Amino acid sequence: MSQVKVFPNNPFQENTHIIYDETGACAIIDPGMDNAAEQNAVVNFIKQHNLKPALLLNTHCHIDHILGNKFIFDMYGLKPQFHEGEVHLLEAGVAYAPQFGLRYEPSPVPEVFLGDEGTVCFGNTTLKLIFAPGHSPAHLCFYNEKDNFLIGGDVLFAGSIGRTDLPGGDFKTLIDNIEQKLLVLPDDCRVYPGHGPSTTIGQEKLTNPFLV
């Protein structure tokens, strides 16, 4: 069974996720660590649980989700994997970081890009790719069907949705993807968003003002 650990990081309170299972293998998703304390929290958790980082994944490449990519590469030798449609956002991070007062060491470029569909695997865990642009041009969500949880990035939040006023954002595209690709998941599917508390698909169907 896979478990999820959440670390709120950087001034945007971006959620960095570690997924791990009984094999000890883990995936690090959207590392947003902005300082030594945040970096140490992630590294210490990995050490304390004897985990072996196997994958570095990005749901998308806005600056708050990639701040720690270089650190994870330096620590564990992992290059990020994300959809190729996000590359220009990765490259723009160097320009955006100073505007927000962030220290950003440029992220490595992927050797492997993820597609619109398919899976990524580590240990005994399989994550299904769900292509859900709208907040960003080529945003991916990662769905663990066996354990029924979704790493949703900035697509769907508890009581809200991702903003669409950034470059590459589109409101109708985002809503269509949420309705057609996320709301079809089981009502009890646990959603771990890129910011804020977790929620469930059923809860958002009932109460999310953008969807009801």
Residue-wise pLDDT for 137-160, tens only, equals 999 999 999 999 999 999 999 999
Does pLDDT of 100 surpass 90?
no
- At residue 12, the pLDDT reads 96
Number of domains in the chain: 1
42/6 Cα distance (integer angstroms): 9
State the pTM of this model.
0.98
Select from 113, 114, 115, 107 the least CA-distant residue to 89: 107
- The residue range of the domain holding 12 is 3-207
* pLDDT, mean over the chain: 97
Q: Is 165 part of a structural domain of the chain?
A: yes
- At residue 67, the pLDDT reads 97
- At residue 96, the pLDDT reads 86
Q: Is 212 part of a structural domain of the chain?
A: no
Task: Tell how far CA 111 is from the center of its chain.
Answer: 18
Read off the pLDDT band of 212 (50, 70, 90).
confident
118/128 Cα distance (integer angstroms): 6
Does pLDDT of 128 surpass 90?
yes
Q: Is 181 part of a structural domain of the chain?
A: yes
Does pLDDT of 99 surpass 90?
no
Name which of 44-48, 99-103, 189-193 the model is least confident about. Answer: 99-103
Q: Is 9 part of a structural domain of the chain?
A: yes
Q: Is 63 part of a structural domain of the chain?
A: yes
**β-strand pairing of 156-157 with 160-161:** antiparallel
Does pLDDT of 177 surpass 90?
yes
- At residue 167, the pLDDT reads 85
Q: Is 122 part of a structural domain of the chain?
A: yes
Tell me whether residue 158 is exposed, middle or buried, using C-beta atoms within 10 angstroms of its C-beta: 0 to 12, 13 to 18, 19 or more. Answer: middle
Q: Is 191 part of a structural domain of the chain?
A: yes
Residue with tokens 């066996």: 146
Read off the pLDDT band of 136 (50, 70, 90).
very high
**β-strand pairing of 190-193 with 149-153:** parallel
Select from 131, 127, 130 the least CA-distant residue to 147: 127
32/126 Cα distance (integer angstroms): 23
CATH number of the domain enclosing 76: 3.60.15.10
